[in-house]
């Protein structure tokens, strides 16, 4: 039986995390290829709606990466994210989806290595959680 | 309830009246025939109040409000959708039966002008039994429930604190244009939108033709809001934590208030 390869969506903010991901790529850091990066202008533009839609359509995990608190290009954008995403995970838990499938982390433009660590760790976590149960469900 | 006009100095009164054997909300002016007033029907007055207050520019409206209406009004006043100076709130205490139906933990209005305060209900049985299920069972339970949804939008239309003119859920990005049920995301999006404003009036559950236990979901999310941000919606003083920075200052723009 082949190993479960999770399908992961990573929302990266344009100003920090996407540049961090870029740096990780330029430095040829090895990381699992399961992550699909979506560039957003700010981590605050990742509305819970998008996370819910992704999860309900069978994405195994959603990773939201933004600038460190205080470094937001839009000053308080990531404050919003810092409250929203944990709430999103909580609501998913209420309907029976493991809250660890949604993770929030801060990666700055200089932290290519941190990006590698976060992604590797997240992929491992999702591997141990198994596939998203919503994949099997047809509404 | 002539007292609304004489004692509180209101120009209009929004209450529920008996009409053709049914209970219907009416807007009365001074001197109108009130007929038989009904105070036993759980009816979301806040919805009607928000709609009519757009057209009534002058004069104060007295509204017969339960505790949940009162809290919903507080939420809308915070978001500048209602003007508190134009309102006269007449408190209506819920009966024990209604409290039991809503599993209401906060039934007593700030001034009970009509009726007497009954004791609040204990913790919601439905919510705590769902909470105690392991995750896969919980998901099965909710999928069974959400499968019954026929996308009537009753929960949205009757919700006192759902105030967007263009509802996000009417976009095909989030709700498929064709076919029912609308999927898991529909209900989760509603849950997150109402997280910081749901007043647990139970109107969504009452208006649901498929009897989805929406109130249990709302109560669970509200418990989380309480635990995470120590915030209870309907608080007239505090801004929603989702619209403030981590330090609690208001955000520069309120962006999507929904």
Across A7-27, average pLDDT = 92
SS3 B185: helix
The verdict on a CB contact (< 8 Å) between B137 and A96 is yes
Q: What is the mean pLDDT of the segment spanning A14-23?
A: 92
Pairwise CB contact (< 8 Å): B142 & A48 = no
Mind listing the pLDDT tens digit for each residue in B166-198?
A: 888 888 888 888 877 888 888 999 999 888 888
Which residue shows structure tokens 């004692």?
Answer: B7
Quick one: three-class SS letters along B49-105? HHHHHCCCCCCCEEEEECHHHHHHHHHHHHCCCCCHHHEEEEEECCCHHHHHHHCCC
Assigned token pair, A87 = 């709430």
| ipTM higher than threshold 0.85 | yes
**Domain limits, chain B:** 3-114, 125-243
For residue B190, which residues of chain A lie inside 8 Å, CB to CB?
A: none
Model confidence at B258, pLDDT cuts 50, 70, 90, reads low
pLDDT exceeds 60 at position A11 = yes
Task: Give yes or no for a contact between B184 and A139, defined as CB atoms under 8 angstroms apart.
Answer: yes
Confidence grade of residue A1 (pLDDT, cut at 50, 70, 90)? low
Domains detected in chain A: 8-135 (3.40.50)
Does residue B49 have a pLDDT over 60? Answer: yes
Write down the pLDDT at residue A80.
87
Whole-number CA gyration radius for chain B: 19
B202 within 8 A of B42, measured Cβ to Cβ? yes
How many beta-carbon pairs below 8 A join chains A and B?
99
Are the CB atoms for A68 and A104 separated by under 8 Å? no
CB proximity under 8 Å: A 64-103 to B: 69, 75-76, 79-80, 82-84, 86-88, 90-98
Task: Report pLDDT digits (tens) over A47-101.
Answer: 899 999 999 888 999 999 999 998 888 888 888 889 899 999 999 998 889 999 9
Scan residues 140-169 of B and list those with Cβ closer than 8 Å to A.
140-143, 146-147, 168
Nearest neighbour of A80 by CB, restricted to B137, B221, B251 = B251
Structure confidence by residue, pLDDT tens digits, B77-118: 888 888 888 888 888 888 888 888 888 888 888 877 787 777
Q: Give the per-residue pLDDT at B87.
A: 85
The pLDDT value given to residue A121: 93
Q: Tens digit of pLDDT for each residue in B2-45?
A: 666 767 777 888 888 887 878 888 888 877 777 777 777 778 88
| DSSP-derived secondary structure letter, A15 | T
pLDDT of residue B255 exceeding 60? no
Say what the pLDDT of residue B51 is: 83
Q: What is the pLDDT of residue A58?
A: 87
**pLDDT confidence bin for A122, thresholds 50/70/90:** very high
Q: For a pLDDT cut of 70, what percent of chain A falls above it?
A: 98
With contact defined as beta carbons under 8 Å apart, do A15 and A109 qualify? Answer: yes
- Please give the Cα distance from B51 to A22 (Å, whole number): 51
């Amino acid at each position: 039986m082949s190993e479960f390869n999770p399908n992961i969506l990573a929302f990266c903010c344009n100003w920090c995390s996407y540049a961090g991901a870029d740096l990780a790529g330029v430095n040829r850091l090895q990381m699992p290829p399961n992550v699909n990066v979506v560039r957003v202008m700010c981590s605050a533009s990742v509305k819970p709606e998008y996370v819910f839609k992704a999860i309900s359509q069978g994405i195994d995990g959603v990773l939201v990466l933004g600038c460190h608190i205080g470094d937001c290009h839009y000053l308080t954008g990531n404050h919003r994210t810092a409250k929203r995403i944990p709430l999103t995970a909580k609501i998913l838990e209420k309907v029976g989806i493991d809250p660890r499938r949604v993770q929030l982390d801060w990666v700055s433009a200089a932290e290519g290595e941190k990006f590698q660590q976060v992604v590797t760790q997240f992929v491992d976590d999702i591997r141990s959680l198994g596939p998203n149960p919503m994949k099997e469900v047809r509404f | 309830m002539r007292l609304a006009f004489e004692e509180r100095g209101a120009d209009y009164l929004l209450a529920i009246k008996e009409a053709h054997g049914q209970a219907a909300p009416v807007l009365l002016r001074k001197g109108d025939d009130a007929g038989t007033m009904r105070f036993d029907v759980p009816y979301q007055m806040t919805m009607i109040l928000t709609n009519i207050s757009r057209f009534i520019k002058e004069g104060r409206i007295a509204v017969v409000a339960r505790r949940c209406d009162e809290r919903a009004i507080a939420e809308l006043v915070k978001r500048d959708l209602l003007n508190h100076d134009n309102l006269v709130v007449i408190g209506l205490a819920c009966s024990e039966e209604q409290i039991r139906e809503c599993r209401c933990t906060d039934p007593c209005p700030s001034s009970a002008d009509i009726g007497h305060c009954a004791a609040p209900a204990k913790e919601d049985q439905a919510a705590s039994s769902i909470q105690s299920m392991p995750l896969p069972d919980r998901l099965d339970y909710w999928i069974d429930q959400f499968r019954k949804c026929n996308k009537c939008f009753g929960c949205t239309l009757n919700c006192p604190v759902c105030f967007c003119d263009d509802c996000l859920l009417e976009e095909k990005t989030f709700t498929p244009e064709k076919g029912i049920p609308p999927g898991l995301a529909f209900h989760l999006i509603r849950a997150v939108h109402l997280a910081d404003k749901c007043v647990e009036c139970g109107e969504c559950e009452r208006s649901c033709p498929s009897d989805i236990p929406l109130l249990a979901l709302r109560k669970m999310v509200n418990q989380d809001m309480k635990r995470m941000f120590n915030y209870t919606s309907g608080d007239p003083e505090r801004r929603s934590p989702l619209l403030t920075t981590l330090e609690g200052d208001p955000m520069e723009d309120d962006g999507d208030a929904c």
